[in-house]
Amino acid sequence: MKQKFKPKGSVIAALDVGTTKISCFIARLTDDEGHFDVVGVGHQASAGIKGGTVIDLEAAETAIRQTVHAAENMAAETMKGYPLREVVINVPGIHAHSHHFSADIDVLGQEVADQDIRRAMARAQEQNVSPDRELIHTIPVGYTIDGHHGIRDPRGLFGQSMQVDIHLVTGDSGALRNIATCIERSHLEIAAMCVSPYAAGLASLVEDEMDLGCTVIDMGGGVTSIAVFMGGNLIYTDAIPVGGQHVTSDIARGLTTSIAQAERLKTLYGSAIASTNDENELLDVPQIGEDDHAHPNHVPRSLLVGIIQPRVEEIFELVRARLQDSGLGPAIGRRVVLTGGASQLPGLRDLGQAVLDKQVRLGRPIRLGGLPEAVCGPAFATTAGLLTYVSERSDEMPRQVLAQSEPENLMQRIRLWLRENW
Ligand SMILES: Nc1ncnc2c1ncn2[C@@H]1O[C@H](COP(=O)(O)OP(=O)(O)OP(=O)(O)O)[C@@H](O)[C@H]1O
Ligand SMILES: [Mg+2]
């Protein structure tokens, strides 16, 4: 029942508002199958955002506007002078929450049709209306027909009654309202929203991983978020408010140096795992407020690694606890893919493997051909995945569910009512 969100030739755009960077990808759909070419990209340091939350509207708005302009300029030929109107935006994992719901639908000896699935989705949505939570995704994840479980695609099957298991993802209305305000003030409309780690998974997982079970851990600047895939669907999402920035501030504090120097030391010499040479390798660490050259300060690399390791270990332990608390049990599978800027720390894969006791690989966007070099790394997995989400999964958007579950005419409405009530 895949719906086309936009026809061939349309422009779609993704805006990823992160804690440390904002990025925008503009793409043009090249056919009616959802394939697209990226025609413009823009990215820059973020402002006004802390841990995925807007704390300064004006600063965030300015940074968003500049990022979008940069992408628009690069896409000028495709845009033919028209400004970008709509964007699909990320919802930071920290503001999202997973709910599981089952809807029973009467099929009454008929063939299951798309409309039946949409009715179940609409019913799940109706039952989860609340003023402080906004719907982000409505994902049918499993079907039971007349007591037979484990059906992945019920369409065309006959039965009396069908139970549809639905994964709803909602977002904190207040936080979303603030993000929306920044975007609207930049004269953009929000066409859709997608939880960050879900988008990161859509960009970086191969199909087998999504099918057989895989956990994506998106390690950003202020948030580390989780998306669990199974049977090709997102079945769970969660997040912890700790990311790469916390590693950096630990280094700044531990070595009494500036945040900028700590960031430099982390990216140039940092590691999540100690090596035998660390003791002998000396790093130059300028002290806060002192002239770099007047008092050279050398510290062994082991000191730096000794600050980084426990913090990263803590992040993985918190993730492990969240996965345990999710109640998904062994369904989660043994595969983990790490994305996000902070996943670039050397040794992270091995440490993750040890703490999580899972098979870990590093991920980056793999579905978008022709991404410029500067934006093809793991930090841009979420941005890339937002485009995949709009082009391939628009039927999970709550607004689309509502629009399509409405019967087209009165007769249909009556038939539906009779089928459901008699
Ligand atoms: N080479 C590197 N080694 C280690 N860490 C890195 C490296 N490059 C970037 N980082 C870290 O990645 C983090 C930023 O990641 P990313 O761009 O995914 O975050 P974000 O999307 O802006 O934030 P969030 O998703 O948390 O809102 C920063 O903390 C930065 O220090
Ligand atoms: Mg991010």
Hey, what domains does the chain have and what are their CATH numbers?
11-94+174-204+376-396 (3.30.420.40), 97-169+401-421 (3.30.1490.110), 207-273+303-365 (3.30.420.40)
Amino acid letter, 231: G
Closest residue by CA, ligand 1 atom 13: 221
- Evaluate if residue 102 carries a pLDDT over 70: yes
Please give the sequence-ordered ranges of beta strands (E in DSSP) within 294-404, or none if there are none. Answer: 298-300, 335-339, 359-362
Q: Say yes or no: CB of residue 379 within 6 Å of ligand 1.
A: yes
- Evaluate if residue 288 carries a pLDDT over 90: no
Q: In the predicted model, what is the mean pLDDT of residues 169-198?
A: 96
Q: What is the pLDDT of residues 354-380, one digit of tens each?
A: 999 999 999 999 988 778 999 999 999
Going from the Cα of 162 to the center of ligand 2, the distance in angstroms, rounded, reads 38
- Evaluate if residue 409 carries a pLDDT over 90: no
Q: Say yes or no: CB of residue 267 within 6 Å of ligand 1.
A: yes
- pLDDT of res. 7: 85
Q: In the predicted model, what is the mean pLDDT of residues 347-351?
A: 98
Phi, psi of 115 (to 5 degrees): -60, -35
- pLDDT of res. 32: 83
Q: In the predicted model, what is the mean pLDDT of residues 308-313?
A: 98
Ligand nearest to the CA of 339: 1
Ligand nearest to the CA of 382: 2
- Residue 239, beta-bridge partner list: 225
Average pLDDT over the chain, rounded to an integer: 92
- Residue 238, beta-bridge partner list: 226
Going from the Cα of 199 to the center of ligand 2, the distance in angstroms, rounded, reads 10
- pLDDT of res. 408: 46
Going from the Cα of 69 to the center of ligand 1, the distance in angstroms, rounded, reads 23
Q: In the predicted model, what is the mean pLDDT of residues 78-101?
A: 94
Q: Say yes or no: CB of residue 220 within 6 Å of ligand 1.
A: yes
Going from the Cα of 123 to the center of ligand 2, the distance in angstroms, rounded, reads 32
| Mutational test site, ligand 1, from 15, 16, 17, 20, max ligand atoms within 8 Å of CB | 20
Contact 42, 23 (CB under 8 A): yes
Query: Nearest-CA neighbor of 362 among 195, 218, 207?
Result: 218
Q: Say yes or no: CB of residue 46 within 6 Å of ligand 1.
A: yes
- pLDDT of res. 298: 93
pLDDT band at residue 251 using 50, 70 and 90 as cut-offs: very high
Q: What is the pLDDT of residues 26-68, one digit of tens each?
A: 999 998 888 899 999 999 999 999 999 999 999 999 999 999 9
- pLDDT of res. 368: 87
Chain centroid offset of residue 255 CA = 33
Contacts of 10 (CB under 8 A, 6+ apart): 28, 29
Phi, psi of 129 (to 5 degrees): -85, 130
Lowest mean pLDDT among 16-20, 163-167, 286-290: 286-290
Amino acid letter, 279: E
Q: Say yes or no: CB of residue 342 within 6 Å of ligand 1.
A: yes
Buried b / exposed e along 377-386 (16+ C-beta atoms within 10 A): bbbbbbbbbb
- Evaluate if residue 411 carries a pLDDT over 60: no
Percent of the chain with pLDDT strictly greater than 90: 80
Q: In the predicted model, what is the mean pLDDT of residues 249-261?
A: 97
Going from the Cα of 206 to the center of ligand 2, the distance in angstroms, rounded, reads 20
Strand, coil or helix: 318: helix
Q: What is the pLDDT of residues 189-235, one digit of tens each?
A: 999 999 999 999 999 999 999 999 999 999 999 999 999 999 999 99
Q: Say yes or no: CB of residue 345 within 6 Å of ligand 1.
A: yes
Q: Say yes or no: CB of residue 341 within 6 Å of ligand 1.
A: yes
Closest residue by CA, ligand 1 atom 1: 267
Ligand nearest to the CA of 348: 1
Q: Say yes or no: CB of residue 383 within 6 Å of ligand 1.
A: no
Q: In the predicted model, what is the mean pLDDT of residues 261-273?
A: 97
| Mutational test site, ligand 1, from 15, 19, 308, 319, max ligand atoms within 8 Å of CB | 19
Dihedral sign from CA coordinates of 406, 410, 412, 416: positive
Tokens matching residue 314: 């803590």
Query: Nearest-CA neighbor of 332 among 219, 212, 225, 233?
Result: 212
Q: Say yes or no: CB of residue 222 within 6 Å of ligand 1.
A: yes
Q: In the predicted model, what is the mean pLDDT of residues 279-288?
A: 92
Q: In the predicted model, what is the mean pLDDT of residues 396-403?
A: 89
Query: Nearest-CA neighbor of 95 among 191, 180, 182, 215?
Result: 180
